[in-house]
């Protein structure tokens, strides 16, 4: 694992020293074999797009599909660029608004936490640069799912931690949050919540892009327990190599929102963002592999076993 890690690390680091303009040339060259020859997850991408936009004809679907693959190639070279990107560069290319409001509210309202809902939209790796936009007294963290490949897991942890934030493994989320609460550490934590939860983690379903969709509810549940501020990260790709993230408050008082209400607000905001510019979402993820019918069947089997 160590050998693979160092080989990939130094290879990517050397590649990252190239100007982004040149890296985007590689991205343009990579697009053709990825889309036309390899067809990386093309069946899943096409199925997701067709089902998510039933009002669009196949010509429009293919156009969005090609735009997605071009963007996905950009995402890859942009992520590699993080190995050598300076603070000045990343702050110029990944900008935020709403950070001052969050910092002031944490202080004024005496709260320890702000939870931010995110999606796999735009370059989510660059959003890890948020600590550059927050006061030093505020810790920034993100919940992540460890990769099976240990070498690549270590690589991405390096990339995400280099800005001064903290990566919290999903299984350790509650324990770490309790530690931070006891330490009275003011913390902003990002939750990327647009993936498919495991069967035993499904507690709520929502209509999302014309699909009956199982959704993560941990952000809302834990957020209410620790009385966190709840925000949504609205991301836009301003132009190639430039992104802006605006933090939008979802509710004044999270505890006053009915169960699953915050989760539904997140889903609606994410859907609006994707619909406005669909090519920048991660369509290659098999988001709708779990169905309500199968979930109900499993629930009934569990009840019989009890």
- Residue ranges per structural domain of the chain: 2-305
Calculate ∠ Cα 117-81-95, nearest 5°: 45
Give the sign of the dihedral formed by CA 65, CA 122, CA 118, CA 35.
Answer: positive
User: In the predicted model, is pLDDT for residue 5 greater than 90?
Assistant: no
Tens of pLDDT along 124-141? 999 999 999 999 999 999
Instruction: Summarize the confidence of residues 178-194 as an average pLDDT.
Output: 97
pLDDT at 306: 65
Kind of pairing between the strands at 211-214 and 205-208: antiparallel
The percent of residues above 70 in pLDDT, for the chain, comes to 99
User: In the predicted model, is pLDDT for residue 305 greater than 80?
Assistant: no
Distance of CA 286 to the CA centre of its chain: 15
Cβ-contact 288, 211 below 8 angstroms: yes
pLDDT at 2: 80
Kind of pairing between the strands at 94-97 and 242-251: parallel
Q: How far apart are CA 79 and CA 95, in angstroms?
A: 16
Instruction: Summarize the confidence of residues 115-119 as an average pLDDT.
Output: 98
pLDDT at 177: 97
Tens of pLDDT along 247-262? 999 998 999 999 999 9
Instruction: Summarize the confidence of residues 42-49 as an average pLDDT.
Output: 98
Instruction: Summarize the confidence of residues 145-174 as an average pLDDT.
Output: 92
Calculate ∠ Cα 181-186-189, nearest 5°: 85
pLDDT at 303: 82
User: In the predicted model, is pLDDT for residue 70 greater than 90?
Assistant: yes
Helices (H) and strands (E) in the chain — how many of each? 11, 9
Structure tokens at 91: 């702050």
Tens of pLDDT along 29-38? 999 999 999 9
User: In the predicted model, is pLDDT for residue 25 greater than 90?
Assistant: yes
Helices in 117-260 by DSSP H: which ranges? 150-161, 173-182, 218-225
Instruction: Summarize the confidence of residues 10-27 as an average pLDDT.
Output: 96
The percent of residues above 90 in pLDDT, for the chain, comes to 92
Q: How far apart are CA 103 and CA 175, in angstroms?
A: 24
Name residue, tokens 């074999």. 33
Name residue, tokens 């005496």. 110
Name residue, tokens 């080989």. 7
């Amino acid at each position: 694992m160590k050998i693979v890690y160092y080989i990939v690390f130094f290879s990517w680091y050397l590649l990252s020293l190239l100007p982004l303009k040149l890296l985007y040339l590689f991205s343009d060259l990579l697009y053709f074999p990825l889309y036309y020859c390899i067809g990386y997850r093309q069946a899943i991408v096409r199925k997701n797009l067709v089902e998510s936009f039933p009002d669009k004809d196949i010509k429009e679907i293919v156009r969005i599909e090609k735009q997605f693959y071009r963007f996905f190639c950009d995402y890859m070279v942009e992520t590699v660029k993080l190995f050598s990107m300076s603070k000045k560069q990343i702050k110029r290319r990944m900008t935020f608004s709403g950070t001052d409001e969050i910092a002031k509210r944490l202080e004024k309202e005496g709260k320890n936490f702000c939870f931010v809902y995110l999606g796999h939209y735009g370059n989510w790796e660059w959003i890890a640069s948020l600590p550059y936009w927050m006061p030093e007294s505020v810790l920034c963290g993100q919940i992540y799912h460890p990769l099976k490949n240990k070498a690549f897991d270590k690589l991405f942890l390096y990339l995400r931690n280099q800005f001064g934030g903290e990566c919290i493994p999903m299984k350790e989320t509650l324990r770490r949050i309790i530690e931070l609460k006891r330490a009275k550490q003011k913390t902003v934590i990002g939750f990327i919540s647009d993936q498919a939860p495991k069967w035993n983690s499904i507690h709520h379903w929502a209509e999302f892009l014309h699909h009956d969709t199982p959704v993560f509810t941990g952000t809302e549940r834990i957020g209410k327990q620790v009385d966190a501020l709840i925000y949504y990260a609205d991301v836009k790709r301003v132009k190639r190599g430039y992104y802006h993230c605006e933090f939008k408050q979802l509710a004044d008082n999270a505890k006053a929102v009915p169960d699953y209400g915050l989760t539904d607000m997140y889903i609606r905001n994410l859907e609006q963002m994707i619909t406005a510019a669909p090519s920048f979402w991660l369509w290659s993820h098999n988001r709708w592999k779990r169905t309500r019918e199968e979930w109900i069947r499993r629930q009934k089997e569990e009840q019989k076993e009890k």
